Amino acid sequence: MARTFAVVVAHPDDDALTWAGTVAKHALDSDFRFILVQATDGEAGDIRDGFPASRETLGAVRRAECAAAWRAVGRPPDRLEWLGFPDGRVAEVPQAELADRIARVLEEETPDVVATFGPDGITGHPDHIAIGAATDLAFARLAGNGTPGFKRLLHHVLPLSVFNRWQRRRRAVDLPVFDPTRMYHWRGVPDDEVGLVVDCRAVRDRVASGILEHRSQLHVLVDQPVDIFGVQRTMGREWATVVWPPPLPPRRLLADVFDGL
């Protein structure tokens, strides 16, 4: 029986930074199905000087980068759905409309596990927060009406201990530290809220290769000049809170998105 994993994010490259390791680990599983839902094309992203894209073409460029990134990871999505909402303005879309569009895809695919952003949006980006909340609504609707699948809902997070370790490392090499009160800056959640830790060290070279395919936004995604080994080092694990089903004591730390299903 197929095991389906659905990832719902706001922009091309959000997926590369969150769940590429999990997908890479399951790449050769014959029963694995991967669904990716992108809310926007990322057309409002930053265009650095000299990059061959314009405001009119950036969305198409980023779609192509998304496809190239998953080829580099070694496991393109079985279904990639572009919802076409305006980049930078997802929070302005009525939440019911967002949830309806997401639910339409999820109802067709009946995934076992759905992963999205939590209330912090990882970086405080309003698009991330809006699409995460709408995905939660869509999941609750479908899980509550007896639709098959919908066994687990995950929010990708960064444990506070890891966030603090990153901060110390950045200070040590004179890199700017993150300010979790500002948008576009990473923030952490208390470690005791984390319910899933996926060890991705065996595939982190492929995860890093996927990130490097997002050429238009590479100056935003990673420190410059690009340190490939530094990128690989930060891609060694993926973390999440388990939103559904609510964890019961004693809570067991999951090691895979399908763990125990």
Q: Where do the structural domains in the chain lie, given as residue ranges?
A: 3-244
- The C-alpha atoms of residue 174 and residue 170 are separated, in whole angstroms, by 6
- pLDDT range class, residue 87, cuts 50, 70, 90: very high
Rounded to whole angstroms, the Cα distance separating 63 from 82 reads 9
- 143 has a pLDDT exceeding 70: yes
- Does 257 have pLDDT greater than 70? yes
pLDDT at residue 225 in the model: 77
Collapsing DSSP to helix, strand or coil, 72 comes out as: helix
Average pLDDT over all residues of the chain? 94
Name the β-bridge partners of 80.
36
21: left (phi over 0), alpha (psi -120 to 50) or beta: alpha
What pLDDT shows up at residue 228? Answer: 66
Average pLDDT over residues 85-101: 97
Q: 176 CB contacts (<8 Å, ≥6 apart)?
A: 170
Q: Which CATH architecture has domain 3-244?
A: 3-Layer(aba) Sandwich (3.40)
Can you tell me the mean pLDDT for 236-254?
90
Q: At 81, give phi and psi (nearest 5°).
A: -110, 120
Question: What is the arithmetic mean of pLDDT over 83-87?
Answer: 97
Residues 6+ apart with CB under 8 A from 196: 154, 238, 239, 240, 241, 242, 253, 254, 255, 256, 257, 259
pLDDT of residue 237 exceeding 90: yes
